[in-house]
Amino acid sequence: MTSSAIIPYPIEPIAALPSDEHLAAAFLNSMAEYGTQLHARRIWLACSGGRDSLALAALCVQLYRQGKLSLLPQMLHVDHGLQADSQHWAAHVAHWAKAQQMPCHILPAQVTGSDEQAARQARYDVMRAYMNQEDVLLLAHHADDQAETVLMRLIQGAGVSGLSGMQPWRVQSQGAHRMVLWRPWLTIRRADISAYARRLKLPYIDDPTNATGDNVRSGLRRDIMPVLAKYNPNVIDNITRSAQLLSDADTTVRAQAAQDLQQTTIGSLQQPPLQRVLNVDKLAKLPLYRQRQLLHHWLGQDEPLPPAKQLVDDVLNLSQRSDHNHQTELFWQGRKHAYTIRRYRQQLYRLSSDWLAWLNIPITAQERTLAHIVLPDVSSVDSSPLSINLRTSEDVIWQLQVAPNALVRLLDNPAGEVGHQTALKIRPLDRQQRLKTALSTRPQSGKKLYQTLGIPIWLRESLIVVSMTFLNAETVENEIPILLLSPFDRWILSTDDLAMRTEAQTLAVFIDSHLCSNHTR
């Protein structure tokens, strides 16, 4: 059984047939432009079996047989199962590739949703999963596709980045996996590809849904582009040229935004992609248009699609507020994660939902005797710090790190025989607990310390107190708070116990915390 959508030409080898000079020149010029990036990378060709992708596959076969292409790309065909004949289409593509002696892999895909974007996302996901890290995916998008893309984004209200259209070379990341999308035919017209397919008598699949007009792209192709061509026959080339000019402009804008971001980012508070923080005072010193560009760039980090203009405007308004009501929360559902944007004092935070969930994990009080903390080889200068987990999830681990050899020196016990009566106690800060930091003149309650130290509301349950406890000669337990920690900062505490002040403050120097993120989803 066959499919009526397949152009009824016989499947025959096409390597020896004449190639198209115009199409070949565009491909070879693009290959020369990205030659350094292509070196030593495996190349795959996404082939739906339609006219454009089958024509690109045919050209690659011809260039390979002519010695102008050192390696023949391997074809990837994704079967969504959305069309009744999809299995026949997959078998047809595999049969054609076999006739050309071209490697071909058929990949089944499950589509979540019913729109064009869902099918596109499923295609890329399944191909990305099949390909290796940093592999190149060759795509047959052409100038007509580019013009339709620019018009689609124009009516959606896109900015410079969106209106620059598809890029000929773009690195696409999904978590830790990276692949490259290569489009060498963005300057080639659909009519030229059609003429080439007719000359070769390519038995391509003419998907009937491409001309129905029931999605934005096919509607523009069927109804709008012919009307625009009446006003200017060169409309496709002109829109493509505009996209290239806007791409150059977008590169300039991005470079400026990246430079501004470097100047306004608060490095000590960054935990990408979970938490990103800007300095509001430095942001306000920029011209207004650069503030918008910076916020657009800042918000869109770690996301494949940019934020909406309304969100950028709302965040800009939040940064400009002069009142002390910092309870405002802005929400953004990105493609990868959901985010909350908040301001605390002169800091602007973009917090992922995963990060906020992590901050709600309770911290359990712990007590460790020094005899259990100090490593056996205490005489070694290179003794590794002992790590004590404070809060742990699948993606983020917060640890207390203690230098064991430092403890031995502080106890004036070179042999390493640490008494069992001395311990480190770790527990969350109580709002009523009174502590005195080394730089303050008097003790303050935990509630007051939140304000004094500038701790944002969502981080206040993540303050911990590290104390040293020991038994004195009368076997009375004495607890000396030595350190206050948050995931991003530390404060040495002061004690009124003169006998222990120096030892406790010195010990605090050798204790720190470490935040490790394995967030790759």
Select from 105, 43, 96 the least CA-distant residue to 70. Answer: 43
The span from the CA of 417 to the CA of 420, in Å, is: 9
Please state which of the ranges 111-125, 136-150, 347-361 shows the lowest mean pLDDT: 111-125
* Domain extent for 409: 362-517
Task: Say if 256 falls within a structural domain.
Answer: no
The span from the CA of 58 to the CA of 103, in Å, is: 13
369 and 408 both lie in a single domain: yes
310 and 169 both lie in a single domain: no
Q: What is the pLDDT of residue 394?
A: 86
Encode pLDDT of 173-206 as tens digits: 877 788 999 999 999 999 999 999 999 999 999 8
Task: Please state the residue numbers annotated as binding site.
Answer: 48-53
Q: Output 326 or 275, whichever has higher pLDDT.
A: 275
Among the candidates 340, 357, 374, a domain finishes at: 357
Residue 502 confidence (pLDDT) above 80 = no
DSSP calls for 4-41? TTB--------TTS---HHHHHHHHHHHHHTHHHHTT-
Task: Say if 261 falls within a structural domain.
Answer: no
336 and 375 both lie in a single domain: no
Q: What is the pLDDT of residue 520?
A: 44
pTM of the model: 0.81
Q: What is the pLDDT of residue 417?
A: 42
Encode pLDDT of 57-115 as tens digits: 999 999 999 999 999 999 999 998 777 788 999 999 999 999 999 999 999 988 876 66
507 and 378 both lie in a single domain: yes
Q: What is the pLDDT of residue 395?
A: 84
Share of the chain above pLDDT 90, in %: 61
Mean pLDDT of the chain: 87
Residue 377 confidence (pLDDT) above 50 = no
Q: What is the pLDDT of residue 376?
A: 47
Task: Say if 258 falls within a structural domain.
Answer: no
The span from the CA of 341 to the CA of 299, in Å, is: 9
Select from 461, 487, 486 the least CA-distant residue to 361. Answer: 461
Q: What is the pLDDT of residue 415?
A: 40
350 and 372 both lie in a single domain: no
162 and 276 both lie in a single domain: no
Task: Say if 241 falls within a structural domain.
Answer: yes
What CATH number is given to the structural domain containing 305? 3.30.465.60
Q: Output 252 or 120, whichever has higher pLDDT.
A: 252
Q: What is the pLDDT of residue 97?
A: 97
Among the candidates 293, 324, 357, a domain finishes at: 357
* pLDDT band at 499; cut points 50, 70, 90: low
24 and 59 both lie in a single domain: yes
* pLDDT band at 133; cut points 50, 70, 90: very high
Q: Output 495 or 271, whichever has higher pLDDT.
A: 271
Range 407-434 average pLDDT: 67
305 and 179 both lie in a single domain: no
350 and 368 both lie in a single domain: no
Q: What is the pLDDT of residue 316?
A: 97
Hey, what's the torsion of the CAs at 251, 257, 258, 261, to 10 degrees? -170
Task: Say if 446 falls within a structural domain.
Answer: yes
Select from 418, 90, 398 the least CA-distant residue to 271. Answer: 398
Task: Say if 262 falls within a structural domain.
Answer: no
Distances (CA, A) of 161 to 30, 110, 146, 244: 22, 30, 14, 11
Q: What is the 3-state secondary structure (H, E, C) of 207-267?
A: CHHHHCCCCHHHHHHHHHHHHHHHHCCCHHHHHHHHHHHHHHHHHHHHHHHHHHHHHHECH
Please state which of the ranges 280-289, 292-301, 442-451 shows the lowest mean pLDDT: 442-451
Q: What is the pLDDT of residue 493?
A: 87
450 and 341 both lie in a single domain: no
Encode pLDDT of 205-257 as tens digits: 987 766 665 678 888 999 999 999 999 999 999 999 999 999 999 999 999 99
Range 46-55 average pLDDT: 96
Among the candidates 357, 372, 393, a domain finishes at: 357
Total number of domains constituting the chain: 3
53 and 188 both lie in a single domain: yes
Q: What DSSP designation does 50 have?
A: S
386-392 and 434-435 beta bridge pairing: unpaired
477-485 and 396-402 beta bridge pairing: unpaired
Task: Say if 447 falls within a structural domain.
Answer: yes
DSSP calls for 133-156? TT-EEE----HHHHHHHHHHHHHT
The span from the CA of 334 to the CA of 302, in Å, is: 9
Task: Please state the residue numbers annotated as binding site for ATP.
Answer: 48-53
203 and 271 both lie in a single domain: no
What CATH number is given to the structural domain containing 196? 3.40.50.620
What token pair was written down for 153?
């984004």
Task: Say if 255 falls within a structural domain.
Answer: no
